Amino acid sequence: MDKVLDLLILNRVKFHTLSLRGRVVMSQLPLSITMLFLLAGTWIFYPPLLSDPQFRLSMLLNAALLAACFLVPWDKLPYPSFLLIPLLDFVPIALLREGTGSVLTGVGLLAAFPVIWLAASGQLPKLSVIAGALASLAMVWIPVFLGDAAVTFKALTHPLLVPFMMLAIGITVRVMTASMMEQQRVVEAKDAELRSLLEASGRRERLLSAVLSAVDVGVLAVDEAGNTILRNRRQEELRRLALPPGEEDAPESRLELYADGGSTVIPAQDRPIRRAVRGESFSEHLIWMGRKPQQRVLSASAQAMLDDSGRREGTVLAFNDVTELVAAVDAKNEFLSSVSHELRTPLTSIQGYAELLSMAPDLSPNMVSGLDTITRNSDQLLKLVNDLLGTAAGFSELQPVQADLAEIAAQAVAAAEPKAAAGGVTLSTHSLGDLEVVCDPARVRQVLDNLVSNAIKYSPQGGDVTVSCTEGDGMVECRVADTGMGMGAEERSNVFTRFFRSPEARRGSIPGLGLGLALSKDIVERHGGTISCISEPGAGSVFTFTLPADGPPSTDIADHGSSSGRRLSAGAQPGA
């Protein structure tokens, strides 16, 4: 039964998908099937009607019209031409109505089939409704005018119920059809818009997939619960390196992820995805993935994804393979350390023997001057070697204690007085307020020594260098100002870069390697502070650094290179 119903309501064959000929046939079939049932019922219950010529002609005309629906190439004729069929349907209906007389009542209601067809066709909507009503009126009036009885008012008004019913049916169908067609147009417009959006979304998805497949960076997107949303090909390759031996898949907590040169297993709560789930954003976080010799070093970064309301809906993580870069940095540091050690040994001997020779009695003035030159230049060279050794070895631990920044500054100024006097530079210091600070005094003194030494070195004879210290808002601040040659914008942007030296310094043969400011920046930042430079060509420079009075962050006190904060930069020592 279900299959029969499906077939009758076109549940398997959609009407709008049929050809024009198929739609015409399907529109005519209800009337033809109904008349076929009438023929069968008449043959069973009213056999005498079969001999009525009007009854026979009605059935033949209906069969002919159904055959025309099948045989006429409607798609080759003007589109509204198929409306001729429902108009002609009124002829067999009228003949059947007259032929059956009072034997079969209500036969005239068969006119509802062509009326509905005309009204629902969507072609010439107003005219189709009127044509259906007029055809129904003609169907009941023409027999009155052609009959033998006199044409009276009663004879004309008696059958008017059928035309009025057909008019009402036509109007109802037309209104409903118009509403449905309008809804269909809206649906089709939305469907077209949706298809366009889907096509655009598909293009973006294909573009994203192509980009993610092309880049040599592992990309992983997770939702707020840490479930994987997206993972590109490169990330799949990197993840396989960290799988435990013999396993095809494993959660992040069981992956082989290490820190500190690949020797310390990263705790589950400090792994990148867990940190991302907690809402952290980070960059250049170094992790070692997998076991040696296939082990790779990755720089991990994470950025939260926010919806329109600003609520976090996930995180995108990027894993960049920096194995070769880390190896190159390690090789550079090892080279600098080796060269520095090799240079320090003969320099120490040179200084020692120069000091012994200077103690000899009865030295001529020329010999004293020569020994002074040897000592001065060896001291300068030893300082450069120490800077090289410092930048190669770095330091992994601060020793913070309660100290007085004003006292540290005074010590640095006192130590620089001979150099300032030799260069004809006036050196002064000013301190205001309570300058107690928790810091590593030796490291802060190293910063001040570098800044004061540079200020003297780049100031002309007769210049001034001022060191001033203040406090406020839980911070202490130290400023070193000079009246030297100054720097332009491009030089200022690179002043804290290792081995950077300004063109004026090179042209003036001012000694140095360009390491002091880079080391100073590293020390200040490890204390949790900041350092900056303000300078203009010919107007001198002002270097300012600030430190938190309560001391550096705990991670910097214990181990600045810990797994939770490791970064690959000019100031970090990967693998240290």
Residue 507 pLDDT: 46
Q: What length does the chain have?
A: 576
Residue 481 pLDDT: 92
Among residues of the chain, what percentage have pLDDT more than 90? 12
Under 8 Å between Cβ of 551 and 502: no
Mean pLDDT of 333-349: 72
Q: Is the pLDDT of residue 136 over 80?
A: yes
Residue 561 pLDDT: 37
Instruction: Determine the distance from the C-alpha atom of residue 350 to the mean position of all C-alpha atoms in its chain, rounded to a whole number.
Output: 62
What is the tens place of the pLDDT at every residue in 433-477? 668 899 988 889 989 988 998 888 888 888 899 999 998 888 899
Sign of the CA dihedral 366, 367, 372, 374?
Answer: positive
Closest CA to 569 of 386, 325, 387, 385: 325
Sign of the CA dihedral 16, 19, 24, 26?
Answer: negative
Mean pLDDT of 526-552: 89
CATH topology of domain 327-392: Helix Hairpins (1.10.287)
Query: What are the residues whose beta carbons fall under 8 Å from the beta carbon of 164, sequence distance 6 or more?
Result: none
436 to 113, 406, 476, 545: CA distances (angstroms): 102, 8, 8, 15
Residue 433 pLDDT: 65
Tokens of 566: 């490791």
Under 8 Å between Cβ of 239 and 259: no
What is the tens place of the pLDDT at every residue in 287-321? 998 888 888 899 999 988 888 888 888 899 999 98
What is the tens place of the pLDDT at every residue in 365-384? 888 778 877 887 777 677 66
Dihedral angle computed from the Cα positions of residues 345, 349, 351 and 352, in that order, rounded to the nearest 10 degrees: 130
Q: Secondary structure of the chain: what % helix, strand, coil (to 5)?
A: 60, 15, 25
Closest CA to 38 of 9, 61, 66, 58: 58
- Per-residue pLDDT band for 161 (boundaries 50, 70, 90) equals confident
Residue 63 pLDDT: 93
Q: How far apart are CA 171 and CA 166, in angstroms?
A: 9
Residue 191 pLDDT: 87
Q: How far apart are CA 473 and CA 211, in angstroms?
A: 48
- Per-residue pLDDT band for 563 (boundaries 50, 70, 90) equals very low
Q: Angle CA(32)–CA(33)–CA(37) in degrees, nearest 5?
A: 115
Q: How far apart are CA 444 and CA 405, in angstroms?
A: 8
Q: Which of 228-232, 268-272, 313-317, 360-364 has the lowest mean pLDDT?
A: 360-364
- Per-residue pLDDT band for 395 (boundaries 50, 70, 90) equals low
Residue 555 pLDDT: 45
Q: How far apart are CA 170 and CA 164, in angstroms?
A: 10
Most confident of 16-30, 394-408, 468-482, 541-555: 468-482
Q: What is the DSSP string of 321-389?
A: E-HHHHHHHHHHHHHHHHHHHHHHHHHHHHHHHHHHHHTSSS--HHHHHHHHHHHHHHHHHHHHHHHHH
Q: Is the pLDDT of residue 160 over 70?
A: yes
- Would you list the domain boundaries of the chain? 2-190, 218-321, 327-392, 397-558
CATH topology of domain 218-321: Beta-Lactamase (3.30.450)
Tokens of 151: 């044409």
Instruction: Provide the 3-class DSSP secondary structure of residue 80.
Output: helix
Tokens of 412: 């640095």
Q: CATH homologous superfamily of domain 397-558? A: Histidine kinase-like ATPase, C-terminal domain (3.30.565.10)
Q: How far apart are CA 208 and CA 232, in angstroms?
A: 10
Mean pLDDT of the chain: 81
Tokens of 568: 């690959």
Closest CA to 540 of 451, 464, 449: 464
Among residues of the chain, what percentage have pLDDT more than 70? 86
> Across-strand partners of 547?
476
Residue 235 pLDDT: 86
Under 8 Å between Cβ of 537 and 485: yes
Q: Is the pLDDT of residue 331 over 60?
A: yes
Quote the pTM value: 0.45
What is the tens place of the pLDDT at every residue in 233-282? 888 888 888 888 888 888 888 888 988 777 788 998 888 988 888 888 88
